[in-house]
Structure 1
């Protein structure tokens, strides 16, 4: 595996060095690698799931919609 980013070289050799960045109410966590800044999310069973840009855009949009519905009561 040839890394395209020089910051990702330690991850290619030794593996990722994840640190917890967020913890959610449903007992899932968001982890970010200290070297290459790769983002993964743990599910409720502790399994890793890749967190893609599309998923984060959907989550941000849903969060904005939720805030709008709370801001304007029926």
Structure 2
């Protein structure tokens, strides 16, 4: 009984992060093996850019302002 009351609030509006969503779409188009490599390369490019610039990675597209 309690599970039925709780579950709609948990799953409402849930979706994949942008990088995973991109990888899932890519997997449908080119296959799982090539998509896995493409996602790994994209992560490597992000990490390299962070390392070179010293910037921070934001999970969302817009930066959230800390108050």
- Whichever of the two has the greater Rg, that structure is 2
- Which structure has more strand as a fraction of its residues? 1
- Which structure has more helix as a fraction of its residues? 2
Query: Which band: TM-score by shorter chain?
Result: 0.3 to 0.5
Q: Higher relative contact order at CA 8 Å, sep ≥6: structure 1 or structure 2?
A: 2
> Could you tell me the TM-score, scaled by structure 1's length?
0.33
